[in-house]
Structures are given as structure tokens and as C-alpha cells.
Amino acid sequence: MTRMVSKRLVLKSLAGTAAASLLAPLSWAQTFPAKLVSLVVPYPAGGGSDVVARGLTGQMTKALGQTVIVENQGGASGTIAAQKLLNAPADGHNVYVGSPNELILAPMAIAAAKFKSEDFRLVQKVGNFTLAALVPSALPVSNMDELIAYAARRAKEGKPLTYGSVGNGSIFHLLGEQLSKVTGVPMIHVPYRGGAPMTQDLVGGQIDLYLGAMGANSPGMVAAGKLKLLAIISPERLDTYRNVPSVRDSRSLQDFTYSLWVGLFVRKGTPEPVVHALHKATTSAMADPALAHVAEGAQIVLAQPQTLAQAEQVYTESVAQFRAIAKSIHLKAE
């Protein structure tokens, strides 16, 4: 008799657990969002990720029926904001607005970063940065082939070209190292703490080259003759740059094409109904024509909306690509 009662209790407990697990997704779907949603941007206000995040908030607020705000949490190449997200509950109320630069490269370059790329899940890719090759106006080159030939001559003279980046392990560092590797031309990396001082030195001729994202002020500097735009490196481009050569047009760098994108991420393990709700809200916000205009001002090409499966594939491929480059240039965490 006692065994039968015990068996009934076990079966009842198992049935209750199963019912709870079936109801949990429904519960999440019904209660999310229970409070305001923060889009955590890993840089101060004004950068590309920040502009995109602010362009999304209005339509996402309407779609979710809850206020969506932007929270700027700069520092340590985006790792402070990343750790903040990982320290918060995996409930979708904190969403990271970033790129492979922070979530793939930073953990490999910054010893203090205690997270892995796999700790995050891409909800939606929102836009692609315009990557380009920029040099001071006084540098005696007008295209990528002339740049490589000039860099080779300088290296033979013992005065290799210098290229700037926003820090060790950033994509801009990797692009410079990769350019040096594929051409066999030595160049010197000059890391900066941010884009503003680097651009100032590029304009002044203190460094010779920048391979990376066009900023909001870059077109004006090119138009004013302060900088020369040699080529577009990314496959995606704004209409503004239709007449600018692609790096594929050069004789020596036809395969030197790279992408840097910005997207919305959540902690891995966030409930599936929450991820779907955020994906649907982001996709809806991306349909707003105003966002395309805002993105263009930040030199970002708005992406085509993707399914969650496609987003997962994009992130997986980016992790593999950048880890391979980092390994090939022997990137070490500092």
C-alpha cells in the first residue's frame, strides 16, 4: 500500500513538472516585457552602434508595448557592457547592441575579458559598416595598387608605413596586419584609445593609413581634401560611394574584402519566446524608412532582415572568420 502511494506521488510530481515546463514558454510569451527594455551600447553616445540603437527605440517600443531605452556603457573595447549583460538575468530586458569587434575579437585581445563569443546569441543583424582605406591627402598614392607599391618602397628604405587602429585586437588592427601579411610588406601598427585622436593624426600625417569603418565625419573630410579615400573594403556600400573603387578592382588585393556589422544580442539561454519577441520587434523597427536615413548618416548600410536561423549562421561564420585571422597573425591577449 505504501509503495502504491509513493508511486502515485512520484507520478504526480513528474506530471506537475512536465506541465510546468510546457506552460513556462507560454508564461514568458505573456509576461515579456515586464519592465522597460535597455539597449546596451558599448560606447559613448554618437557612434554608429549608438545611432542605430536610438533609431530602433521608437518602433521597438510600439511593437513590444513597453518602453525601450538606450544605455551607454563604454569602456575596455565593449567588454564592460558585455559583462554587464552577462551579470543580468537572461530575460531579454537587457539587449547588447554591438558587433564582432566587441564580442568576438575583444575576448581574444583583452586578458581581463572573462567571456566567450558563445555566451551571446544574435537576435538580428541590423546594419553593415562601410569599411574603407583612408590615407592623408599628402600621401603620394591614389589607389590600392599604388599604396602597396609605395609601402614596399618605404619598407626597403627602412621606413615602413604606419597604420592606425582603435586598439590592439580591434578589427582595424586585424585588417592592417592582414594587409601586411597578404602583400608581404611590413607595416607598423599604431594603436589609439579612440577614433577621434586617430583621425586627427591621420589628417595630420602622423600615421599613413587607416583601414576601417567610415565615420559620420569621414565624407566631409574627404570632400574637403583632408583625407583621400582609396577604396571600399566591404562588399556592402552606400549609394554615396558608388563611384569609389572597390578593393576588388585592384590587381593585388581582389580577395581583401571584409564585413563589420552591428546587431542585437541577448545572453545565451534567454527563453525562446523572449528571443522571438525581440526578433519580431527589431524586424518591425527595421522597416521604418526613418531608420535607413539615420543609418546612412552614420555610414551604415541597413541590412536585410534575417530569420533567427540565418542570424545564428551569420554569427557562427563571423566567429570562425575572425578567429582564423587572429590565429594567423598570432594575436595575443594583453
How confident is the model over 249-297, as pLDDT tens digits? 999 898 999 999 999 999 999 999 999 999 999 999 999 999 999 999 9
Instruction: Reply yes or no on whether the pLDDT at 29 is more than 80.
Output: no
Q: Is residue 22 part of a domain?
A: no
Measure the CA–CA gap between 205 and 199, rounded to whole angstroms: 10
Q: Is residue 295 part of a domain?
A: yes
Nearest 5 degrees, angle CA 285-CA 318-CA 321? 160
Contact call for residues 113 and 294 (beta carbons, < 8 A):
no
Domain that holds residue 169: 131-249
Measure the CA–CA gap between 184 and 242, rounded to whole angstroms: 30
Q: Is residue 14 part of a domain?
A: no
Q: Residues 43, 191: one domain?
A: no
User: Hey, which residues does 128 pair with through a beta bridge?
Assistant: 261, 301
Residue 44 corresponds to which cell in the numbers above? Answer: 559613448
What does DSSP say about strands 120-129 and 37-41: parallel, antiparallel, or unpaired?
unpaired
Q: Residues 220, 140: one domain?
A: yes
Give mean pLDDT, residues 230-250. Answer: 95
* Cell 554608429, residue located: 48
pLDDT of the residue at 193: 81
pLDDT of the residue at 195: 86
Three-state secondary-structure class, residue 113: coil
Give mean pLDDT, residues 214-228. Answer: 96
Q: Is residue 19 part of a domain?
A: no
Three-state secondary-structure class, residue 227: strand
Measure the CA–CA gap between 327 and 37, rounded to whole angstroms: 37
Given 212, 230, 249, the domain boundary residue is 249
Instruction: Reply yes or no on whether the pLDDT at 9 is more than 70.
Output: no
| Reported confidence tier of residue 329, pLDDT bands at 50, 70, 90 | confident
- Domain count for the chain: 2
Measure the CA–CA gap between 51 and 60, rounded to whole angstroms: 15
Q: Tell me the pLDDT of the chain averaged across its residues.
A: 91
CATH code where residue 191 lies: 3.40.190.10
Given 210, 230, 249, the domain boundary residue is 249
Q: Which residues of 204-233 are buried (b: 16+ CB within 10 A; e: fewer)?
A: eeebbbbbbbbbeebbebbeeebbbbbbbb
Q: Is residue 18 part of a domain?
A: no
Measure the CA–CA gap between 330 and 302, rounded to whole angstroms: 33
Q: Residues 122, 265: one domain?
A: yes
- Report cis status (omega within 30 of 0) of the bond before 33: yes
Percent of the chain with pLDDT over 90: 81
135 closest CA partner among 193, 187, 77, 99 = 187
Q: Residues 148, 66: one domain?
A: no
Measure the CA–CA gap between 123 and 306, rounded to whole angstroms: 9
Residue 245 corresponds to which cell in the numbers above? Answer: 573603387
Q: Residues 65, 107: one domain?
A: yes
Q: Is residue 334 part of a domain?
A: no
Instruction: Reply yes or no on whether the pLDDT at 204 is more than 90.
Output: yes
Residue 66 corresponds to which cell in the numbers above? Answer: 513597453
Q: How many other C-beta atoms can be found within 10 angstroms of the C-beta atom of residue 139?
A: 19
Q: Is residue 152 part of a domain?
A: yes
Q: Residues 155, 235: one domain?
A: yes
128 closest CA partner among 230, 262, 225, 2 = 262
Measure the CA–CA gap between 132 and 229, rounded to whole angstroms: 7
Residue 316 corresponds to which cell in the numbers above? Answer: 557562427
Instruction: Reply yes or no on whether the pLDDT at 84 is more than 60.
Output: yes
Q: Is residue 104 part of a domain?
A: yes
Given 228, 249, 270, the domain boundary residue is 249
Radius of gyration of the chain (CA): 23
Give mean pLDDT, residues 115-139. Answer: 97
49 closest CA partner among 202, 241, 262 = 262
Q: Residues 152, 211: one domain?
A: yes
pLDDT tens-place string over residues 133-166: 999 999 999 999 999 999 999 999 999 999 999 8
Q: Residues 135, 241: one domain?
A: yes
CATH code where residue 284 lies: 3.40.190.150
Measure the CA–CA gap between 207 and 200, rounded to whole angstroms: 10
pLDDT of the residue at 91: 97
Contact call for residues 296 and 287 (beta carbons, < 8 A):
no
Q: Residues 217, 321: one domain?
A: no
